[in-house]
């Protein structure tokens, strides 16, 4: 995924496994903080890369611009991304632009949320929910134990 440095405007390629981590701009060395806002998914390939590679849970919001409940819940989704920066990656999938992605995840109503962990869905729900409920779903995902060095 490409992240833009707020300091110099440089484009920085960040692997999916590092999206929730702080980093540095390759050009100016300014801090690149962990993602603190939802990411609009541009295509299926990007979605698949992030879901498969993320080191933290991924909250996906399937939505559409014409959907009033989707617009109503958008600030709640943004709030969760900001509050849990570094502990979650939040994706937004526009079902009008990527209908095949919505169909492959059996989205029948929107807004529709899926929490992925280690590439697999662990929570799915349709309908508007509060940021507190979204946060509970993410916090319920078990934290991976650190890798043990070989003996």
Domain annotation covers residue 21: no
Query: What is the structure's pLDDT at 17?
Result: 87
Convert the pLDDT of each residue in 25-48 to its tens digit. 999 999 999 999 999 999 999 999
Q: Does 28 qualify as catalytic in the annotation?
A: no
Q: What is the 3-state secondary structure (H, E, C) of the chain?
A: CEEECCCCCCEEECCHHHCCCCEECCCCCCEECCCCCCEECCCHHHHHHHHHHCCCCEEEEEECCCCHHHHHHHHHHHHHHHHCECCEEEEEEECCCCHHHHHHCCCCCCCEEEEEECCEEEEEEECCCCHHHHHHHHHCCCCCCCCCCCC
Catalytic residue among 5, 25, 28, 70: 70
pTM, entire model: 0.89
Q: Does 67 qualify as catalytic in the annotation?
A: yes
Domain annotation covers residue 108: yes
When divided into structural domains, the chain yields a total of: 1
Domain annotation covers residue 11: no
Catalytic residue among 8, 25, 28, 67: 67
Residue 109's domain is classified under what CATH number? Answer: 3.40.30.10
What residue numbers bound the domain in which 90 lies? 35-139
Domain annotation covers residue 43: yes
């Amino acid at each position: 995924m490409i992240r833009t440095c707020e300091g110099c405007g440089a484009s920085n390629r960040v692997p999916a496994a590092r999206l929730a981590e702080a980093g540095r701009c390759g050009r100016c060395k300014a801090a690149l903080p962990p993602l603190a806002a939802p990411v609009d998914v541009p295509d299926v390939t990007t979605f698949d890369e992030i879901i498969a590679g993320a080191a933290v849970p991924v909250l996906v919001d399937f939505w559409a611009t014409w959907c009033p409940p989707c617009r109503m819940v958008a600030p709640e989704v943004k709030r969760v991304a900001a509050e849990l920066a570094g502990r979650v990656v939040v994706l937004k999938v526009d079902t009008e632009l990527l209908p095949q992605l919505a169909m492959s995840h059996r989205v029948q109503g929107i807004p529709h949320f899926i929490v992925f962990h280690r590439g697999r869905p662990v929570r799915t729900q349709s309908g508007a929910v509060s940021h507190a409920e979204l946060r509970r779903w993410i916090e319920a995902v078990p934290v991976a134990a650190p890798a043990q060095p070989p003996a």
